[in-house]
Structure 1
Amino acid sequence: MNKLQKWIHGNWSVPIVSGLLILVSFGLKHVAGGAWNTTLTPQWWLDAGAHSTHTTLVFTLADAFMIAGAVVAGYNIVVKAINALLTKHIGIDLLVSIAAIGAIIIGNFWEAAAVTFLFAIGHALEAATMNKTRSALAELVAVAPDVAVVMRDGEQQVVPAHLVKMGEIVLVKNGSKVPVDGQVVAGTGSLDEASITGESMPVEKSKSDQVFAGTISRSGFLQVLATGIGADTTLARIIHRVEDAQDAKAKTQAFIDRFSTWYTPAVIVLALVAGLLTQDVVLALTLLVIGCPGALVISIPVAIVAGIGRAARNGILIKGGEYLETAAKISAVAVDKTGTLTEGRPQLTDVVVLDPAYDRSEVLRWAAAAEAGSEHPLARPILDSARKEGVGPEGIPGTVTPVPGKGIVSDIEGRQVLIGNVPLLLQYGVTNDDGATDRAREAAEKLAAQGRTPMIVAVGGTVIGIVAVADQIREDAPEMVRRLHKAGVEKVVMLTGDTWLVAEAIGAKTGIDEIHASMLPEDKLEAVSELQKQGHTVAMVGDGVNDAPALATANIGVAMGAAGSAVAVETADIALMGDNLLKLPEAIGLAKRTVSVMRQNIMIALVTVVLLLAGVFAGGVTMSIGMLVHEASVLIVIANAMRLMRNSQGSTAMAKELRSPSRASRTAKDDTAKETENAIT
């Protein structure tokens, strides 16, 4: 398609052509009424009567150009109105079509042209600004890589990004885009992951780290094993998710659509009744124009598109308008401890021997063997420590049976191995004849009081010892709680399967309002349900595994660090792509601002219609003036929604603080980190 064809099919071709025709019409009338006046016309021309005939022809030609301007601007409007009627839908286009055609029939050509011309301009501006609000989606598409450098047959080859095969080695050089999702197998470098997580600071990458398509190398050289290509990349899933979310309707929008279904026919009936009662056709046609609910119809979708787009640009994926509205009502936030309030990278701190027949290495060996087949986050530090000490498990793990909220049961070398808490021992009949269970309970409580998570190890029905791990509180966890309260959240609740002593140590340092510990998955579900019964709109932040029932029950399920989880990106109501806790209050704050803009837009639209209707009946508001004010209200509504595309002052300040913290803030953070470390170790 060449430039001319592109312009013809663009949004601005119709209003420009229509506007030129209207200007020609005015020009001809000016000539007929000005230059061709009797003082400048020869007497013989006047005597012949030619002047009057010529003036009439010019005015007729001017009217023809005015009608042509109305037809050019109104053709698409009429077509849309007819197509809508065929689907049994009465919309704004029908109101404008009836008004314009009626104005032409009664000879009011200027009003017809003005109404259709202004409506066409409004449509073009509306399309342009809606595209602007979708800029976040356009930016995501723009960062999608075009080419990749892969190793094939021992040589570097440049291929289109979509032709990279799973399992191939991709080379990422300084300044280039990462073309695939993958794992670093060699090299070091830093990547700008802003397109995925919304974080502006580059992230250092080395062997075994995960990388995402669309991120940009700022330094170094990486060799990446491709694990996600084409539509299976995180970037592709984000683009798809944002596209669907921006098109999804909010409850308010669905109500406005239903309202418009009845409102538009009501305007037609009002105009008809007014025309019959007053015998004033112009009044009836003017009411049709004045009653157009254009600003009302667009008030919600433009705000939703802008709000979801702003969130996506900041690394926050919101599932759609309905979830955006619900997020604005959140009054209680329930969070899991491990991986949310804590770093999620626990370290082995203690190995306590309780049976003299075993030594420290043997207790650690049995614990690691039992955890080898477990997916629980606390398994990793035990396995890592066992391998470092040369007692790590080898071969295929034995049978592992998770017991939610209690621990796991494994079959190792023909012996039953339990690792978990006292209720697990009691469930599997570990006796207390020699007081071993009581000693284990006392030792576990001492470790828990120090902020550590103890796990009792029993082999063949005998308690042999305890292993304990500790996880460091996230540096920004207390600030997250503070900002949640500032954003209007009344209660922040911790739901954890850990012991009370550990939970209380974490809660005291983070400022959590309410603590629930030693919880099974069904207990977390009940806790969320109880919050809802108290009248709260609840958001649940969890890992999606043990927290799945609670996440499903909560009004809003939030997944953190979702960039590495395809399931979280697709299913979470709100997915925080990065691992930044402060994104949660930012998401809630943005949702509240978006809903506020939606309400403002509805008020602007309704007030405009009421004032125009009053102006019509009071006199002085014509069809053209009504359409001009109507289109102005549409633009005001759009401009109001566009404010959401800007970062709030709070977000900007936060970003600056994170990028270049002052000496005072660094000192405060260092002090907080030391206090936290002391509390849990």
Structure 2
Amino acid sequence: MKFVIKHEIKGRLRVHMAQQRMTYEQADVLQYYLQQSDLVVDAKVYEQTADVVISYNGDRAAMIHLLCTFKYQMVEVPEGYLESTGRELNSEYKEKLICKVVWHYGKKLILPAPIRNVITIVNGIRYIWKGLQSLRHRRLDVAVLDATGIAVSLLRQDMGTAGSVMFLLGIGELLEEWTHKKSVGDLARSMSLNVEKVWQKVGDQEILVSASTIEKDDEIIVHAGNIIPFDGVVTTGDATVNQASLTGESVPVAKNIDSYVYAGTVLEEGELTICVKATGSATKYEKIVTMIEDSEKLKSNLEGKAEHLADKLVPYTLGGTLLTWLLTRNVTKALSILMVDFSCALKLAMPISVLSAIREAQQCDITVKGGKYLEAVSEATTIVFDKTGTLTKAKPTVIDVIPFNDSEPEELLRIAACLEEHFPHSMAKAVVTAAKQKKLEHEEMHSKVEYIVAHGISSFMEEKRVVIGSYHFVFEDEQCVIPEGKEVIFNNLPEECSCLYMAIDQQLAAVICIEDPVREEAADVIRDLRDNGIQKIVMMTGDSERTAAAIAHKVGVDEYYSEVLPEDKANFVEQEKALGHKVIMIGDGINDSPALSAADAGVAISDGAAIAREIADITIAADNLHEIVTLKKISNRLMQRIHRNYRFIVGFNAGLIALGVGGIIQPTTSSLLHNTSTLYIGLKSMENLLDEQEKMNK
């Protein structure tokens, strides 16, 4: 596509696309195209001017070629992406704000005073009516205060003050509405599906296919721990499904034949075969938005306190106004109190602060599902880490397959991969990846597979029972034994590895040694978390005592627990909460789900199990553990900003009231200063909490 370079420095281009008008959809397509390139570090598309600002790494000629070869029609954008970017929403509210400001100040130049006064009176009726409705329901809230201030100003024929008050209230309403819708959109996008492959049932076979090929009335199979990718009806199977994302139900729902299941929910236990009834991603997104539209998840406790405090101050403001009038018989002094209510600033600054923090977290690859979770992270003193995929690297690798029967290692690995490919866990992915690297084909050779959470997998292959999983599962639960004469090999397994044990017909067949190295940044992250207010750092793992002790020593946690079950992690979190501690839980697997749900703030790794991401309150990218420190810093500074806003709003407005009652300033001046300070605090609340250097060091 043709374009013009408007500005250029090394590693950065600003270009103008050669088109008269760029639609929201075209801007999103171009943004997606650029972000998918390895060359591009960051890209911003401005649809109003058809300009693009690109930061890139590597060869300039390659970047120019990338732009030259771009065509809108050639870009395959994932289904549902365009409907959920939020670009049109942001543009809509920006235009509304600009129009409101231009109209407020422009009408003074365009319209004569009588017409302006009529408009002010008509607008005032809406606020007065809302105040009367509150009184009718015996509520003495901010609506009553707003109505009183506007009504008194109109009765005194002080149209300028009444207009200014309504202008600021209108700005506040717009920003609050924008805040809410954007928060809902961000939350819905974080919950939107990103399923690329599904298991399709074809005859008696399970075939792994692209989700985009699935059509209505196709049958798919969903295993435990996986997200349900499409709406549909259960044709076979019994399972429990977590529907919290759609219905808010905290207890999983039993599903069996003829039950209807919804896209975006997660299968916790069991297995289902589903006849697909709907495949559109856009409708899934819209459904999520509808379901969470009124969710209290979006508000932090401090946001709720701000609204409660604003309403709580109303009687005192009205009482102060009446008392001032009774003592001074001066309407001007009494009106000075009404012109300076605390509610505008309190109700405006708090949601903007939280939205800004959620947006900034998103820029750092951290998805936060609501303001209250940032508050919980700020207050947390205990953090609990799962080991595998969190403190250790997200992509463990198979380094050896040790046979304990007469089979070749490749054949044993092929069998293990055939079983493990059905279940989302980093250890399972390591086995499947190793088989792919060795180009081992593993068509379905087994009967139905059964997943036992935090233990392992069992199935039948050629009428022989095959189990694969932890030591506890294979040797204690399943009572498998080591073949005679193989004890020495077993006792000399490499200490530095995590092991998966596979047994066939009660006999150990293979030990798969998996290298799960500690993340290079883990020790630094532990130290930084202590510096930012975490007092107790715990590691919990289902791995052996030997492996757990080695990892704990390397990273420097305060406590560690080995060979734990999912309920052990959840019980520990509950015990810490019972002691009065706020707890963060960080995990990536199905077995972490109970603890993630129990914690004050559950943090999931983005490429972990679907159920972990579903239950978690916050999701971080898998490639950098420093994002946990970034999350803690953002949360801490958000709370500092909110408390600072409280102090400023109360102090400044109390000063204005004192000056007004003292007759030093007029009500119109009080209103102007109050409105200006409210806009100032709102704009300050939009600023980033971290500087660029801190983000670069994450």
Matching residue of 2:599: 554
Matching residue of 1:51: none
SS state at 1:492 partner: strand
Matching residue of 2:198: none
TM-score (norm 2): 0.64
Q: Cα distance, 1:553 vs. partner?
A: 0.8
SS state at 2:687 partner: helix
RMSD, aligned CA:
4.3
Contact 2:394 2:622 in 1 (8 A): no
Question: Partners of 2:358 and 2:628 in 1: how far apart?
Answer: 14
Question: Partners of 1:587 and 1:237 in 2: how far apart?
Answer: 29
Alignment of 1:542-621 (within 5 A): 542-561=587-606, 571-577=615-621, 579-621=623-665
Pick from 504, 521, 527 the counterpart of residue 482 of structure 1.
Answer: 527
Matching residue of 1:308: 358
**Residue type at the aligned position of 1:377:** S
| 1:457-494 CA distance string (max 9 Å, x none) | 43333334533121233343334333323332223322
Matching residue of 1:208: none
Q: Cα distance, 1:539 vs. partner?
A: 1.3
Pick from 461, 477, 480 the counterpart of residue 412 of structure 1.
Answer: 461
Q: 1:267 to 1:231 in 2, by over 3 A?
A: same
Alignment of 1:89-108 (within 5 A): 90-92=140-142, 94-102=144-152, 105=155
Q: Cα distance, 1:17 vs. partner?
A: 5.4
Matching residue of 2:223: none
Question: Partners of 2:425 and 2:297 in 1: how far apart?
Answer: 38
Question: Partners of 2:621 and 2:288 in 1: how far apart?
Answer: 9
Matching residue of 1:119: 165
Question: Partners of 1:576 and 1:590 in 2: how far apart?
Answer: 14
Q: 1:303 to 1:280 in 2, by over 3 A?
A: same
Q: Cα distance, 1:400 vs. partner?
A: 3.6
Q: Cα distance, 1:611 vs. partner?
A: 1.6
- Pair 1:648 & 2:695 matched: no
Q: 1:504 to 1:413 in 2, by over 3 A?
A: same
Contact 2:184 2:298 in 1 (8 A): no
Q: 1:243 to 1:565 in 2, by over 3 A?
A: farther
SS state at 1:429 partner: coil
Matching residue of 1:77: 124
**Residue type at the aligned position of 1:651:** E
Pick from 298, 306, 324 the counterpart of residue 248 of structure 1.
Answer: 298
Q: Cα distance, 1:103 vs. partner?
A: 5.0
Q: Which runs of 5+ in 2 are unaligned?
A: 1-94, 190-210, 215-228, 230-277
- Pair 1:351 & 2:401 matched: yes
Q: 1:505 to 1:335 in 2, by over 3 A?
A: same
TM-score (norm 1): 0.65
| Larger radius of gyration between Structure 1 and Structure 2 | 1
Question: Partners of 2:528 and 2:549 in 1: how far apart?
Answer: 21
Question: Partners of 2:436 and 2:589 in 1: how far apart?
Answer: 29
SS state at 1:540 partner: strand
Q: 1:465 to 1:286 in 2, by over 3 A?
A: closer
Q: Which runs of 5+ in 1 are unaligned?
A: 1-5, 25-64, 144-164, 169-181, 183-226, 656-681
Matching residue of 2:349: 299
Matching residue of 2:67: none
Alignment of 1:95-494 (within 5 A): 95-102=145-152, 105=155, 109=157, 112-123=158-169, 126=172, 166-167=212-213, 230-231=281-282, 248-354=298-404, 360=409, 364=413, 367=416, 371=420, 375-383=424-432, 385=434, 393-423=442-472, 424-430=474-480, 439=488, 442-444=491-493, 447=494, 449=495, 451-494=496-539
Contact 1:95 1:292 in 2 (8 A): no
Pick from 529, 544, 553 the counterpart of residue 508 of structure 1.
Answer: 553
**Residue type at the aligned position of 1:470:** E
Q: 1:338 to 1:273 in 2, by over 3 A?
A: same
Q: Cα distance, 1:443 vs. partner?
A: 2.9
Question: Partners of 2:150 and 2:571 in 1: how far apart?
Answer: 61
SS state at 2:345 partner: helix
Q: 1:566 to 1:83 in 2, by over 3 A?
A: farther
- Pair 1:15 & 2:58 matched: no
Question: Partners of 1:320 and 1:73 in 2: how far apart?
Answer: 37
Contact 1:245 1:319 in 2 (8 A): no
Matching residue of 1:37: none
Q: Cα distance, 1:96 vs. partner?
A: 5.0
Contact 1:74 1:97 in 2 (8 A): no
Q: 1:401 to 1:595 in 2, by over 3 A?
A: same
Question: Relative to total residues, which structure has the larger helix share, 1 or 2?
Answer: 1
Question: Partners of 1:520 and 1:566 in 2: how far apart?
Answer: 19
- Pair 1:520 & 2:565 matched: yes
Contact 2:176 2:348 in 1 (8 A): no
Question: Partners of 1:591 and 1:7 in 2: how far apart?
Answer: 30
Contact 2:333 2:663 in 1 (8 A): no
Contact 2:121 2:154 in 1 (8 A): no
Matching residue of 2:203: none
Question: Partners of 1:482 and 1:292 in 2: how far apart?
Answer: 41
Question: Partners of 1:583 and 1:238 in 2: how far apart?
Answer: 27
| 1:362-400 CA distance string (max 9 Å, x none) | 655665566565554333444555677687644342344
Q: 1:442 to 1:405 in 2, by over 3 A?
A: farther
Deviates more, 1:282-291 or 1:632-641: 282-291
Matching residue of 1:669: none
| 1:218-267 CA distance string (max 9 Å, x none) | xxxxxxxxx98642789x89999998889922212222323333322332
State the percentage of identical aligned residues.
24
Contact 1:308 1:318 in 2 (8 A): yes
Q: Cα distance, 1:402 vs. partner?
A: 3.8
Question: Partners of 1:574 and 1:614 in 2: how far apart?
Answer: 44
**Residue type at the aligned position of 1:580:** N
Contact 1:560 1:578 in 2 (8 A): yes
SS state at 1:328 partner: helix
**Residue type at the aligned position of 2:165:** F
Pick from 581, 588, 602 the counterpart of residue 536 of structure 1.
Answer: 581
- Pair 1:631 & 2:631 matched: no
Pick from 81, 86, 106 the counterpart of residue 133 of structure 2.
Answer: 86
Aligned length: 519
Contact 1:328 1:588 in 2 (8 A): yes
Question: Partners of 1:546 and 1:635 in 2: how far apart?
Answer: 47
Contact 1:416 1:459 in 2 (8 A): yes
